[in-house]
Amino acid sequence: MAYGKRRASGQVSGDEIVVEAAWLYYHDGLNQNEIADRLRVSRATVVNYLQEARENNYIRVTMAPDVFIGHKLSHQLREKFGLKAVFIVPNGLGGVQSHLTRAARGAAEWLPDLIVPGDKLGVAWGQTIYEMAELLVSSGKVTIPDVEVAQLVGSMATPYGFTAEICSAHLAQGLGAACVNLHAPAIVTNADLAQQLREEPIIKKQLAALGQCNKAVFAAGSVCANSHVVMSGIASEDDLKTYVENGACGVLCGRFVNKEGKPVSGPLDERMIGVELNKLTDLEMGLLVSVGEDKAQAMCAVMNGGYATHLVTDADTAQIILDL
Amino acid sequence: MAYGKRRASGQVSGDEIVVEAAWLYYHDGLNQNEIADRLRVSRATVVNYLQEARENNYIRVTMAPDVFIGHKLSHQLREKFGLKAVFIVPNGLGGVQSHLTRAARGAAEWLPDLIVPGDKLGVAWGQTIYEMAELLVSSGKVTIPDVEVAQLVGSMATPYGFTAEICSAHLAQGLGAACVNLHAPAIVTNADLAQQLREEPIIKKQLAALGQCNKAVFAAGSVCANSHVVMSGIASEDDLKTYVENGACGVLCGRFVNKEGKPVSGPLDERMIGVELNKLTDLEMGLLVSVGEDKAQAMCAVMNGGYATHLVTDADTAQIILDL
DNA sequence: TTTGTAATTTGACAAATGTTGACATCATCT
DNA sequence: AGATGATGTCAACATTTGTCAAATTACAAA
């Protein structure tokens, strides 16, 4: 029109009008027509502004976690396993994959509420943990001062891309926290080497840091042949069989546990580098994030073992666990 | 249809389906038809569920404060007064009242980010502060552990309903914090009585608590005849005139300050009960929330005095202040 | 100055969402 | 059994929001 004042021209941050539109829309509850009038642009432009605002994460929609914690299944699970709090995400119709993503999303929303400044948070690995970390990084950055994230198990060669160090690094980034990585493989070929590594000053220090964690996030692993422990090369199928014969029915931080959550010993124990299960029993908070029928047994085991104080899962899995 | 499973029947919390609908809509981005299909209800019902979810505050939309802090005016104000951060809310067309509400909203969203566990937060009084507190209480409850809120000035008889103790009490509630009220009037008829009151053990203790505050929230008061200091009976018009003659051009926590923000002495000083200005100069954070042309001078004074480190105002007022 | 290009805006149209009122169903109370 | 109230359904309509191709503008290269 009259004097051409395009958005980019001369502004320090050309987004002021976008912000204004977003404010009017989301806060003041005006509709797009009203906003268009005030801003003297067409309504279509307002649509664009709002999209831009959403893309730039100027707007955050979150759901009150209390709602999920209050869920009926939540009560029952809390009761059954003596947990402090349980977060149930509703399960749509998609496959397990989509359930997993939703649980991750739930966990990503909940976690910041569970962490306070000064905490040291141990992090395991797995797809769920990885997705959770990703979501924390991307969607609006939380920052809690003075938090340290520590990698609970050594690294491994997963074909999926969510190794232990990536999980911990991303989570640290997502929380704006410092990160202590564990610069060692999760498993080596013989116990001697493992022991030597554990004594290496750098690694020894990192392992010591794990003992200082007061909180932790982990997933439960199943003991099927196609489980992640096997796929990532931590255990061979034979190893797995041995452990299962000894009563293993779940995996936590690379370690096998039986129905009661007690550690099951086997050929790999001495060759692994990572946190030991007894460090995980008296945490202020142990957040278990897992989904899927195949994980149900393992989750039970982990909860029976007293490692978890908090749980995120979906309604389906919750029901299965309660029926076990 | 087949087997009647009405929402209210036997559920612990009848809202599960509402939550599910909300989740699918806001998180998974499905549209109402898809949700209706999945949930096996009509679309109309989905509309109802979503409304219910919004009414129950299951959904929170917030705007990233960074955006406002990055505003051009914000830069300039930060520069001019040496502030740490400035939050500018865009100004719609409504009257001053609506600007005030928006600033309050902005402050309500920002404040939780500025408070960390262990803080002791002093709170002044005024309409803006009151509205901010209200918003914090209503819209989704923030809880920051181990925070203490203290009432900075004694109570007064305002005709508007936002007395100092209501402001602090509500704000404490909104933050999930403990509250230290000041059980004394803001002003008494003579200096002796004031002194006696200050020596009363209970009040002495409360006043001492004010000295412990590391952060504070306050508004700037103008020195017009219709300002809140006068309307609330703290100062008579004559008192006001005296102070203005002595150079006062703003009010902070009931105390008068000149252009540079230095305290202006006058007839009321000894009769007031509340924090003294010198306690407010070395705060970790002093959040000034004010809006309106009439407040501009006072705001300048307060910022010049170094009481404020953070500011929330609207674009109009910001511009006026910069032009002064 | 002209021309090309990418960003921005816009209007017309399509899709999604909200509203209303009439009605059906079920649980509960009388 | 009948009345009542809460909840869900349906269908038509009004309102709001999203999409897309075409037009406009700023800016830089020719």
- Read off the pLDDT of residues A267-324 as tens digits, 9 standing for 90 and up: 888 888 889 898 899 899 999 999 999 999 999 999 999 999 999 998 889 889 998 8
Q: Which amino acid is at B106?
A: G
pLDDT of residue B13: 42
Interfacial residues of B (vs A; Cβ cutoff 8 Å):
11-13, 15-16, 19-20, 22-24, 26-28, 30, 38, 57-64, 67-68, 70-72, 75, 89-90, 92-93, 102, 105, 116-117, 140, 145
Q: Of A237-241, A257-261, B66-70, B76-80, give the range with the top mean pLDDT.
A: A257-261
Q: Is A218 helix (H, G, I), strand (E, B) or coil?
A: strand
CA A56 distance to own-chain centroid:
23
Q: What is the mean pLDDT of chain B?
A: 84
pLDDT of residue B12: 37
Cβ neighbours of A27 in B, within 8 Å: 63, 102, 105
Flag whether pLDDT at A101 surpasses 70: yes
Would you report the helix, strand and coil content of chain B in percent, each value rounded to 5?
Answer: 45, 15, 35
Q: Is B301 helix (H, G, I), strand (E, B) or coil?
A: helix
Please, what is the Cα angle at A23 between A18 and A29, to 5 degrees? 130
Taking C1' of C16 and every protein CA, the nearest residue is B31
Of the given ranges (A79-83, A230-234, B64-68, B79-83), which has the lowest mean pLDDT? B64-68
- Nearest chain A residue to B109 by CA distance is A27
pLDDT of residue A95: 61
State the Cα–Cα distance between residues A120 and A177, nearest whole angstrom.
9
- Nearest chain A residue to B75 by CA distance is A12
State the Cα–Cα distance between residues B223 and B255, nearest whole angstrom.
11
Flag whether pLDDT at B116 surpasses 70: yes
Closest in A58, A63, A64 to B67, CB measured: A58
pLDDT of residue A290: 94
> Does B65-323 match B3-55 at the fold level?
no
Determine whether the interchain pair A92/B28 forms a contact, defined as Cβ–Cβ distance below 8 Å. Answer: yes
State the Cα–Cα distance between residues A173 and A89, nearest whole angstrom.
25
Under 8 Å CB pairs connecting chains A and B tally to 102
- Nearest chain A residue to B68 by CA distance is A19
More confident residue, A55 or B257: B257
* Nucleotide nearest B42, from its CA to each C1': D9
Across B226-246, average pLDDT: 86
- Looking at chain A, the number of H-run helices and the number of E-run strands are 14, 11
Flag whether pLDDT at B209 surpasses 60: yes
pLDDT of residue A11: 35
More confident residue, B279 or B54: B279
Taking C1' of C8 and every protein CA, the nearest residue is A6
Residues 6+ apart with CB under 8 A from A153: A124, A125, A164, A182, A186, A253, A254, A272, A273, A274, A275
Mutate to test the interface with A, among B18, B19, B37, B46 (most CBs of A within 10 A): B19
State the Cα–Cα distance between residues A168 and A180, nearest whole angstrom.
8
Q: Express each pLDDT in A26-47 by its tens digit.
A: 887 888 888 888 878 888 888 8
pLDDT of residue A97: 67
> Any idea what DSSP says for residue B155?
B
Cβ-contact A197, A203 below 8 angstroms: yes
Flag whether pLDDT at A84 surpasses 80: yes
CA of B11 to C1' of C29 (A): 21
- Helix (H) / strand (E) element for B117: namely none
Q: Residue holding tokens 């679309």?
A: B43
CA of A103 to C1' of C18 (A): 31
Greatest Cα-to-Cα distance within chain B, rounded to the nearest angstrom: 82
Cβ-contact B266, B256 below 8 angstroms: yes
State the Cα–Cα distance between residues A217 and A253, nearest whole angstrom.
10
Mutate to test the interface with B, among A60, A62, A75, A79 (most CBs of B within 10 A): A62
Mutate to test the interface with A, among B27, B57, B113, B312 (most CBs of A within 10 A): B27
> How is the beta sheet containing A255-258 ordered, strand by strand?
A220-221, A248-252, A255-258
Across B304-310, average pLDDT: 94
Structure tokens that stand for B170 in this block: 């509500």
Strand D CB-contacts below 7 Å? A 1, 4-6, 8-9, 25, 31-33, 43-44, 47, 50-51; B 6-8, 14, 17, 40-42, 44-45, 48
- Nearest chain B residue to A70 by CA distance is B13
Taking C1' of C24 and every protein CA, the nearest residue is B1
Mutate to test the interface with A, among B7, B9, B16 (most CBs of A within 10 A): B16
* Nucleotide nearest A44, from its CA to each C1': C10
Cβ neighbours of B30 in A, within 8 Å: 92
pLDDT of residue A140: 57
> Any idea what DSSP says for residue A24?
I
Determine whether the interchain pair A59/B60 forms a contact, defined as Cβ–Cβ distance below 8 Å. Answer: no
Distance between first and last Cα of chain B? 70
Cβ neighbours of A12 in B, within 8 Å: 72, 75
Closest in A38, A92, A117 to B38, CB measured: A92
Q: What dihedral do alpha carbons A237, A243, A246, A247 form, nearest 10°?
A: -100
If we measure between CA atoms, which residue out of B56, B60, B50 comes closest to residue B18?
Answer: B50
State the Cα–Cα distance between residues A7 and A15, nearest whole angstrom.
8
A300: left (phi over 0), alpha (psi -120 to 50) or beta: alpha
Q: Which CATH architecture has domain A65-323?
A: 3-Layer(aba) Sandwich (3.40)
Across B25-35, average pLDDT: 80
pLDDT of residue B2: 29
CA of B95 to C1' of D15 (A): 27
Q: Express each pLDDT in B6-20 by its tens digit.
A: 444 333 344 677 888
Cβ neighbours of B60 in A, within 8 Å: 60-64
A252: Cα within 13 Å, side-chain hemisphere: 37
Of the given ranges (A119-123, B62-66, B81-85, B280-284), which has the lowest mean pLDDT? B62-66
Closest in B11, B57, B63 to A23, CB measured: B63
- Nearest chain B residue to A118 by CA distance is B117
Binned at pLDDT 50, 70 and 90, residue B96 comes out as low
State the smallest CA–CA distance between residue B175 and chain A in angstroms: 14
- The nucleotides of chain D lying under 7 Å from a protein CB are 6-12, 15-20, 25-27
Determine whether the interchain pair A60/B63 forms a contact, defined as Cβ–Cβ distance below 8 Å. Answer: yes
Across B211-237, average pLDDT: 88
Flag whether pLDDT at B244 surpasses 50: yes
pLDDT of residue A124: 93
- Nearest chain B residue to A145 by CA distance is B116
CA distances in angstroms from A202 to A180, A208, A210, A300, B276, listed in the order given: 11, 10, 13, 35, 53
State the Cα–Cα distance between residues B128 and B136, nearest whole angstrom.
12
pLDDT of residue B8: 41
Confidence (pTM): 0.69
pLDDT of residue B215: 95
Backbone phi, then psi, for A216, in 5-degree steps? Answer: -155, 155
Residues 6+ apart with CB under 8 A from B132: B104, B105, B107, B108, B111, B171, B217, B289
Flag whether pLDDT at A138 surpasses 50: yes
What's the CATH number for A3-55? 1.10.10.10
Cβ-contact B164, B151 below 8 angstroms: yes
Delimit the domains of chain A by residue range. 3-55, 65-323
pLDDT of residue B141: 63
Q: Express each pLDDT in A200-210 by its tens digit.
A: 888 888 888 88
State the Cα–Cα distance between residues A77 and A97, nearest whole angstrom.
23
CA of A84 to C1' of D20 (A): 52
Please, what is the Cα angle at B172 between B171 and B173, to 5 degrees? 90
- The nucleotides of chain C lying under 7 Å from a protein CB are 7-12, 16-21, 25-27
CA distances in angstroms from B252 to A73, B25, B300, listed in the order given: 52, 46, 11
